[in-house]
Amino acid sequence: MKIRPLLKHDLVETIEVIKESFDISVKPSWSQDAIETFYQNDLNIDKLGSLIDNDNICLKYSKGRTIAGVLLFSSKRKLAYLFVAPREYGKGIAKQLFDAAKLEVDDLVDYIELTSTENAVPAYEKLGFKKSASAFVFNDCTFQPMVYWMGYCRLTKSVDFLRS
């Protein structure tokens, strides 16, 4: 297993991982219109490629030659995608990807934000995210704004550095 930068040649497999996970974890609770919008607008090589081109944090977790998880930021502080292949659920891949991403976040960024689907909130809470505003409904789907404060992460890294 290795965490590496996500590259453009990985995008076809990345879309497969996202779609497979989305279909199991998210799709059952979404309207058909929302699902079609996600497939057309978000599972798009050009859109995902632009995240890589714009120097965002984009990582993959590989097992052998297979991508088991992906993480992509859409800006310096906005986590846009964190998906793990269903066959790899429960193995800590999301945590490892997020821990690696935190090390890449600019020192001037004091928090990371995301908009979670309703059923992913517990997974993000396990990573240390907190609800930051009231949930809202868009396209018949409920979303929850969340935030992760970097202060604790930076304090932990500083203490670890001082101990070594």
Q: What residue ranges define each of the domains in the chain, with the CATH number in brackets?
A: 2-163 (3.40.630.30)
Least confident of 47-51, 81-85, 104-108, 114-118: 104-108
Return the structure tokens found at 3. 């965490």
The pLDDT, as a whole number, for residue 140 is: 85
Return the structure tokens found at 11. 């995008």
Q: Using CA atoms, how far apart are residues 111 and 149, in angstroms rounded to an integer?
A: 4
Report which of 157, 3, 9 is spatially closest to residue 84, judged by C-alpha positions.
Answer: 3
The pLDDT, as a whole number, for residue 6 is: 97
Q: Using CA atoms, how far apart are residues 23 and 126, in angstroms rounded to an integer?
A: 22
Q: State which amino acid sits at residue 23.
A: D
Report which of 5, 13, 12, 22 is spatially closest to residue 61, judged by C-alpha positions.
Answer: 5
The model's pLDDT over 34-47, given as tens digits with 9 standing for 90+, comes to 999 999 999 999 99
The three-state secondary structure class of 116 is strand
CB 34 within 8 A of CB 140: yes
The model's pLDDT over 22-33, given as tens digits with 9 standing for 90+, comes to 999 999 989 999
The pLDDT, as a whole number, for residue 153 is: 60
With vertex at residue 116, the alpha carbon angle to CA 130 and CA 109, rounded to the nearest 5 degrees, is 55
Q: Using CA atoms, how far apart are residues 162 and 164, in angstroms rounded to an integer?
A: 6
**HSE value, Cβ hemisphere, 13 Å, CA-based, for 63:** 9
> What global pTM score does this model have?
0.89
Mean pLDDT of the chain: 91
Q: Using CA atoms, how far apart are residues 93 and 82, in angstroms rounded to an integer?
A: 10
The model's pLDDT over 52-95, given as tens digits with 9 standing for 90+, comes to 999 999 999 999 999 999 999 999 999 999 999 999 999 999 99
